[in-house]
Structure 1
Amino acid sequence: MWYGVFLWALVSSLFFHVPAGLLALFTLRHHKYGRFMSVSILLMGIVGPITAGILTSAAIAGVYRAAGKDMIPLEALTLGTGQTFCVVVVSFLRILATL
């Protein structure tokens, strides 16, 4: 049950972070240190869902298991993409706070 939510969180996170990393790589390719920002964006797109995504997916699956409910694939899709949506919203709010 947790694996389905985790996979959707990972795939949807890569859906957001890979284009952002490629855009950063393209626009900062001539900058001395800026080109490494794209690598950090890509790493956060992979490492973030692997570490935090596993924990939150396991917590969601634990609640479903304790409630005695079965999870249909559409619920796993909604919960996994919801996790990514929350991470993207928090990321944008953090950047705006530093401006």
Structure 2
Amino acid sequence: MEGSEAGGGGLLQQILSLRLVPRVGNGTTYSSPLSTFPEMWYGVFLWALVSSLSFHVPAALLALFTLRHHKYGRFMSVSLLLMGIVGPITAGILTSAAIAGVYRAAGKKMIPFEALIFEVGQTFCVVVVSFLRILATL
């Protein structure tokens, strides 16, 4: 049981402690710069998923609560939740690969905090564009 805690640690614990890609060295788990393409891609993608869900799950719960008596409106919460999952899986994979590719091509290592900043910033931009309804004016 002790060996599984050192290697696994749980997904939520990794996210909250910024240890996105744990490495085991001398029996301890520590966070180090992300140097390979898969490590960078995984770190950026994981934060894209977490930051998107942190906005879409409360919105889906609010929609479910406010539209619970409407005949068809209650299904809007399902669409909001699906947007929070499908969006990062499709667009998040591409943008994460692009960011990791640029870092890899430049020969630069990425710290996990940079992955957090990139994807939380991207999610913030998506939320701002959604609220400002810029796309509806085009």
Query: Deviations along 1:21-75, whole A, 9 cap, x unmatched?
Result: 0000000001011011111000000000100000001000010001000000110
State the TM-score, normalizing by the size of structure 2.
0.68
Q: Tell me, which stretches of 5 or more residues in structure 2 are unaligned? A: 1-39
Pick aligned residue for 1:87 from 121, 126, 130: 126
The structure-2 alpha-carbon separation of the partners of 1:41 and 1:8, relative to structure 1 and needing over 3 Å to count, comes to same
Q: Tell me, which stretches of 5 or more residues in structure 1 are unaligned? A: none
Structure with greater proportional strand content:
2
RMSD: 2.0
Structure with greater proportional helix content:
1
> Deviation at 1:96?
9.1
How many residues end up aligned between the 2 structures? 99
Report the 3-state secondary structure (helix = DSSP H, G, I; strand = E; otherwise coil) of the residue aligned with 1:19: helix
Q: Percent identity among equivalent residues? A: 91
Matches within 5 A, 1:1-99: 1-94=40-133, 97=136
State the TM-score, normalizing by the size of structure 1.
0.93
- The whole-number CA distance in structure 2 between the counterparts of 1:95 and 1:30 is 31
Moved more, 85-94 or 33-42: 85-94
Report the 3-state secondary structure (helix = DSSP H, G, I; strand = E; otherwise coil) of the residue aligned with 1:70: coil
Moved more, 67-76 or 84-93: 84-93
Moved more, 41-50 or 78-87: 78-87
- The whole-number CA distance in structure 2 between the counterparts of 1:73 and 1:13 is 17
> Deviation at 1:98?
7.0
- The whole-number CA distance in structure 2 between the counterparts of 1:97 and 1:65 is 37
Report the 3-state secondary structure (helix = DSSP H, G, I; strand = E; otherwise coil) of the residue aligned with 1:29: coil
- The whole-number CA distance in structure 2 between the counterparts of 1:93 and 1:58 is 28
> Deviation at 1:91?
1.0
> Deviation at 1:82?
1.1
